[in-house]
Amino acid sequence: MALPDRYHPQQFQPPVAYAPPPVYVPQQGKETDFLDTLRKLWRHRGTIFITTFVFTAAAVLVARQIPAHYIADARILVGVPAARALNIEAIIADISPDAERIQNEAYVIQSRDTARQVIDKLKLKENPEFNPALRPEPGWLSYLDPTRYLPDSIKAYMPGQKAPAEQPEVSPEVKAEQEMNGIIDTLLAKIEVTTLGRSHVLNVEARSIAPDTAAEIANGFSQAYLARQRSDKIEASEEVEKFLADRIASLREQTEKSDRAVEEYRRANNLYQGASASVTAQQMTELNTQLIVAQTAKAEADSRLGEAQALRRTGIDSQSVPQVLQSPVVQQLKAQQAEADGRLADLSGSLGPQHPRVVSAKAEIREIRGKLNAEVGRIIQSLQHEARTTNARYETLRKNFDRLQGQAGGVNEKSIRLNALEREAQVNRNLLEQMMGRAKETVGQDQLQKPNAKLISQAAPPTHPGFPPKMLLVFLGAVAGALIGMAYALLREGVDRTFRRADQIEAMTGLPVLAMVPTLRGSITPIAHVLRKPVSPYAEALRKLHIGLELSEAAQSPKTVLVSSAVPGEGKTVLVASMGRMLASHGRRILMVDCDWRNPRLHKAFQCQNRNGLAELLCDQPERIEDCIFTDTLSGADLIPSGVFTPQAMRYLTTDRMKMILHALAPRYDMILIDSAPVLVGAEVLTLSRMVDKVAFTVRWGNTKRDAVMEAMKDLIEVNADIAGIAMTRVDPKGYRAYSYSELNYEYERPMLAKPVNWS
């Protein structure tokens, strides 16, 4: 049928304001986020399982390669009081059981001297575990050490590595000492001494690849520590004995010299004491005692007088002086004054100040006060007299003492010297006696010395290795593998910028997903599948897409539908071919038009020639439209291939000529499916989207980037294209179940979203 020469199709009227259909928006919450995280991990369970298996296997290999170490421990109680056979002072202080001292003892146990004794006793120099020179070549695990392959010049700057400088020739003694130091370092690295809780018990822990060796080392360090403590005490005791012996010899010599000096001085000065020799000294002693008493009395009298005079000068009532207060006369007068004051107070309350009785009472009080002052003056005079008397007595006694002291001066000087010599001799004798007594007590103490610590638990050979904890290593390897696998899974999900669920694309675009078209596996093509299996999930998805397109137009079913995508490879051509063949097999009149002139593939799906197609029809080359239509013999669907596009045909594709063709073909078919180029590839798609009734947008599941979809959607919305919805193609059924609550061929009813997405 030829096209009319003058046909003006009805102009396309874009909607006034685009409002996409309401879509489902999933509810967000803590429970939803948690379940979503679980689904993400479940989707990558294979990866998590592989990483867990690999890390667990690696942990098993490492645990098997690490030599087993046995741990034995001995326990020492520190601060045990040492028993003493003799009641003498401590020659050596016992260990005080405080935390710092106990820690010091732990350091003593781990000292290099103790380690050297253990090495000599147990002959560890002949053990390859402790002597690196006797060890065999390392196993294959050493090849995993990256430092093994570094040059010596780099190793020199790494921590724990020795500089490869040229060593000078050393003597055998120095070389043996260096070897011993290395063995000591190795042994000390296998020893650990700790305090058990807050007790006074030290736990000596030793590690070795042999259980018997571990027990011997722990017991060896404990016994060496106890032996060292006892030897230190014996050595100290011997030093004390030697010191006392030397001191006694020196004191004996000094005592003899001091005794000889006393006798010689007494004989030279004729100071042998007789019966009358102490008279002068006795008189001086008695006079000195009297002088002290007189001096005390003088000081007390001066003090009392000074206090009374000071009170009178300062205006303070002298009646407060203790001697005044103790006077009976003063006490009687004060009582009379108190009674007179009381009567005056009573009379003043009821009578006037000029009343005779009040005047008489005041006169009585003045009289009493005069008597008090007179008595106080008399007492002060008596204090003055007493002070003068005591001063005179003191001066007299002092003069007499000075006279006697002058008379006895000559004799006393010699006696004083003699007394000094006697005291010195007595001190030397006392020191000599003390030292000799102590020397007798310390004799044989070195045989009684015991350590202030006790071995309360000897180490026994362990039956099970304490290191490495193989089950713990395997467990940690499994946990590490699982965590790394989960981290990788979450990271992969986080960087996934594709669409894998319907609600994802609906929430971002504001458009409904009309169908989830599953991918087909096997050699059968999709267009053959819809005929061989008309009730399969793939065919059901196509029917659902068709129903969604029909229901998208409220007035009538859309006649022309443009099927496009954002980028190539989305499966739109296969979708058009499969849907067209399926609908045609159901008795519908279906026409498929291939408008993708850049990559025409619709004719290949139906195995027909790509000539006399849409390009030729736009250029009026065929006389009839029927000459450009190919009919599928299996379904009855019609097809217009793209043809060979020329610049003229490409220009006509976006003009009214394309509208005229669609308008002429629309009455003859129930639906025209147009396979166009991707939106982001062909600019003509935007023009074609305004010539059709509806646009079906295809998105490949798990492949198309979200940014590409959003950009293509924005372009279509800007030209007011009437988008019916989205069809997700090549959906993996198993993968979709991992990402969605529902099966691929069944979906729950979704609540509607009132507010559309704003594309501006």
For the chain, percent of residues with pLDDT exceeding 90:
16
- Per the rule left: phi > 0, alpha: psi between -120 and 50, beta: everything else, 176 is alpha
- What pLDDT, on the 0 to 100 scale, is given for residue 714? 93
Question: In 411-528, which ranges are E strands?
Answer: 453-457, 513-518
91: nearest Cα among 245, 237, 228, 243:
237
- What pLDDT, on the 0 to 100 scale, is given for residue 409? 59
Three-state secondary-structure class, residue 142: helix
Backbone angles phi, psi at 71, to 5 degrees: -120, 120
- What pLDDT, on the 0 to 100 scale, is given for residue 88? 46
On whether the CB atoms of residues 327 and 321 are closer than 8 A, the answer is no
CA distance 449 to 75: 22
CA quadruple 617, 618, 621, 624: dihedral, nearest 10: 40
Residue type at 294 in one-letter notation: A
Token pair belonging to 178: 């260096």
Residue type at 574 in one-letter notation: V
CA distance 534 to 348: 138
For the chain, percent of residues with pLDDT exceeding 70:
77
SS3 assignment for 214-262:
HHHHHHHHHHHHHHHHHHHHHHHHHHHHHHHHHHHHHHHHHHHHHHHHH
H helices, E strands: number in the chain? 24, 12
Check the CA dihedral 727-732-735-737 and report its sign: positive
In which band, very low, low, confident or very high, does the pLDDT at 752 lie, cut at 50, 70 and 90? Answer: very low
Segment 17-24 shows an average pLDDT of: 42
Segment 381-396 shows an average pLDDT of: 80
pLDDT (tens digit per residue) in 115-128: 888 888 888 888 88
Strand partners, 513: 726
Does 95 have pLDDT greater than 80? no
Token pair belonging to 640: 């217009």
Quote the DSSP letter at residue 72. E
Three-state secondary-structure class, residue 67: coil
In which band, very low, low, confident or very high, does the pLDDT at 683 lie, cut at 50, 70 and 90? Answer: confident
Segment 238-256 shows an average pLDDT of: 80
Find all residues with CB under 8 Å of 341, minimum gap 6, and list them: 365
752: nearest Cα among 24, 20, 28, 27:
24
CA distance 209 to 68: 6
In which band, very low, low, confident or very high, does the pLDDT at 10 lie, cut at 50, 70 and 90? Answer: very low
Q: To which residue do tokens 């798609």 refer?
A: 685
Q: Which of 2-11, 131-140, 522-531 has the highest mean pLDDT?
A: 522-531
CA distance 314 to 256: 69
CA distance 399 to 392: 11
Does 160 have pLDDT greater than 70? no
- What pLDDT, on the 0 to 100 scale, is given for residue 347? 74
- What pLDDT, on the 0 to 100 scale, is given for residue 226? 86
The residue that leads in pLDDT, 594 or 645, is 594
In which band, very low, low, confident or very high, does the pLDDT at 156 lie, cut at 50, 70 and 90? Answer: low
Q: In what order do the strands lie in the sheet with 560-565?
A: 513-518, 723-731, 694-700, 560-565, 671-675, 590-594, 638-640, 630-631
Token pair belonging to 316: 């303070």
Segment 252-273 shows an average pLDDT of: 76
In which band, very low, low, confident or very high, does the pLDDT at 277 lie, cut at 50, 70 and 90? Answer: very low
Q: To which residue do tokens 């003055």 refer?
A: 384
Segment 556-564 shows an average pLDDT of: 90
Does 197 have pLDDT greater than 70? yes
Backbone angles phi, psi at 337, to 5 degrees: -65, -40
On whether the CB atoms of residues 600 and 641 are closer than 8 A, the answer is yes
Segment 446-451 shows an average pLDDT of: 58
- Cβ burial of 602 (10 Å; 0-12, 13-18, 19+) is buried
Does 12 have pLDDT greater than 50? no
Segment 225-232 shows an average pLDDT of: 83
- What pLDDT, on the 0 to 100 scale, is given for residue 319? 54
On whether the CB atoms of residues 226 and 118 are closer than 8 A, the answer is no
pLDDT (tens digit per residue) in 324-351: 656 677 677 777 777 777 777 777 777 7
